[in-house]
Amino acid sequence: MVRSVRTSGLGCTSAGLTCAAIREGPDFVLEAGALVLADGGVCCIDEFSTIRSHDKAAVHEAMEQQTVSVAKAGLVCRLRSRCSVVAAQNCKGGSAHGRG
């Protein structure tokens, strides 16, 4: 069975795509984002055009290096993100049928 994760670019952050540092009591733990959860499968990102440019940089490392580098809350590690990325966005001007 192929692993797949779907996310939307609306309100998406680099932490949501890669991983987030979550406080559990006095310690921090890493919570996997979409690209890490999709390791070994497919990550589908809808509304890709709405993701901020600095958040898109997180996708670049995952696609180029197949890893996500993390340095958050005193935790430094590299997580696997060996997945295919399928990104979709709306046509420029908002219509696939041309103008007018």
pLDDT in tens, 16-74: 999 999 999 999 999 999 999 999 999 999 999 888 888 888 888 888 999 999 888 88
In this structure, are residues 17 and 7 in contact, taking their beta carbons and an 8 Å threshold? yes
pLDDT in tens, 7-19: 998 888 888 999 9
pLDDT in tens, 62-87: 889 999 998 888 889 999 999 999 99
This prediction's pTM: 0.83
As a 3-state breakdown, the chain gives helix, strand, coil percent values, each rounded to 5, of 25, 40, 40
Place of tokens 């996708």: 59
In this structure, are residues 19 and 58 in contact, taking their beta carbons and an 8 Å threshold? no
